[in-house]
Amino acid sequence: MNGRRMQAKAESWPIKGSFRISRGAKTSADVVVVTISEGNLSGQGECVPYTRYGETTRSVLGQISAVRDFIADGLTRDGLLTVMPPGAARNAVDCALWDLEAKLTGKTAAEIAGLPPSGPLITAYTLSLDTPENMGNAAKEQINRPLLKLKLAGIDDVERVAAVRAAAPKARLIVDANEAWTPAMLEEYGPRMADLGVELIEQPLPASEDGLLSNIDCPVPICADESAHDSSTLDDVARLYDVINIKLDKTGGLTEALLLAEAARDFGLGIMVGCMLGTSLAMAPAMLLGRFARFMDLDGPLLLAEDRENRIRFEGSLMHPPSRALWG
pLDDT tens for 54-82 read 999 999 999 999 999 999 999 999 999 99
CA gap 235, 230 in Å, rounded: 11
CA gap 152, 50 in Å, rounded: 19
The partner residues of 246 in beta bridges, in order of sequence, read 273
Are the C-beta atoms of 220 and 194 separated by less than 8 Å?
Answer: yes
The single residue of 103, 149, 247, 250 carrying the catalytic annotation is 247
Question: Which pLDDT value is given to residue 201?
Answer: 98
Are the C-beta atoms of 256 and 231 separated by less than 8 Å?
Answer: yes
Question: Which pLDDT value is given to residue 129?
Answer: 96
Question: Which pLDDT value is given to residue 25?
Answer: 80
More confident residue, 1 or 123: 123
Composition of the chain by helix, strand, coil, percent to 5: 40, 25, 35
Within this chain, domains 5-107 and 121-319 share the same CATH topology = no
Report, as an integer, the average pLDDT of 13-29: 87
Question: Which pLDDT value is given to residue 296?
Answer: 98
Report, as an integer, the average pLDDT of 235-255: 96
Question: Which pLDDT value is given to residue 3?
Answer: 82
Question: Which pLDDT value is given to residue 24?
Answer: 82
Structure confidence by residue, pLDDT tens digits, 130-157 = 999 999 999 999 999 999 999 999 999 9
Question: Which pLDDT value is given to residue 128?
Answer: 95
Report, as an integer, the average pLDDT of 17-32: 87
The answer to whether residue 1 scores a pLDDT higher than 50 is no
How many residues are recorded in the chain? 328
The answer to whether residue 23 scores a pLDDT higher than 90 is no
The C-alpha angle with vertex 281 and arms to 277 and 287, in degrees rounded to 5, equals 85
Give the residue from 294, 251, 304, 301 showing the smallest Cα distance to 273.
Answer: 294
- CA dist list (Å): 81 to 53, 77, 250, 261, 315: 18, 7, 13, 16, 36
The single residue of 9, 151, 170, 250 carrying the catalytic annotation is 151
Question: Which pLDDT value is given to residue 2?
Answer: 61
Q: Is 107 a catalytic residue?
A: no
Are the C-beta atoms of 274 and 246 separated by less than 8 Å?
Answer: yes
The fraction of the chain above a pLDDT of 90, given in percent, is: 93
Residue 17 exposed, middle or buried by CB count within 10 Å (0-12, 13-18, 19+): exposed
Q: How confident is the model at residue 17 (pLDDT cuts 50, 70, 90)?
A: confident
What is 5-107's CATH superfamily? Enolase-like, N-terminal domain (3.30.390.10)
The answer to whether residue 20 scores a pLDDT higher than 90 is no
* Average pLDDT taken over every residue of the chain: 96
Structure confidence by residue, pLDDT tens digits, 289-327 = 999 999 999 999 999 999 999 999 999 999 999 999 999
CA gap 245, 269 in Å, rounded: 10
Structure confidence by residue, pLDDT tens digits, 75-101 = 999 999 999 999 999 999 999 999 999
The answer to whether residue 228 scores a pLDDT higher than 60 is yes
Give the residue from 97, 88, 77 showing the smallest Cα distance to 37.
Answer: 97
- Give the N- to C-terminal CA distance of the chain in Å, as an integer: 25
Structure confidence by residue, pLDDT tens digits, 159-190 = 999 999 999 999 999 999 999 999 999 999 99
List the CATH code of the domain at 121-319. Answer: 3.20.20.120
Where are the chain's structural domains? 5-107, 121-319
Write out the H or E segment, with its range, that includes residue 199: strand 198-202
Q: How confident is the model at residue 226 (pLDDT cuts 50, 70, 90)?
A: very high
CA gap 202, 305 in Å, rounded: 26
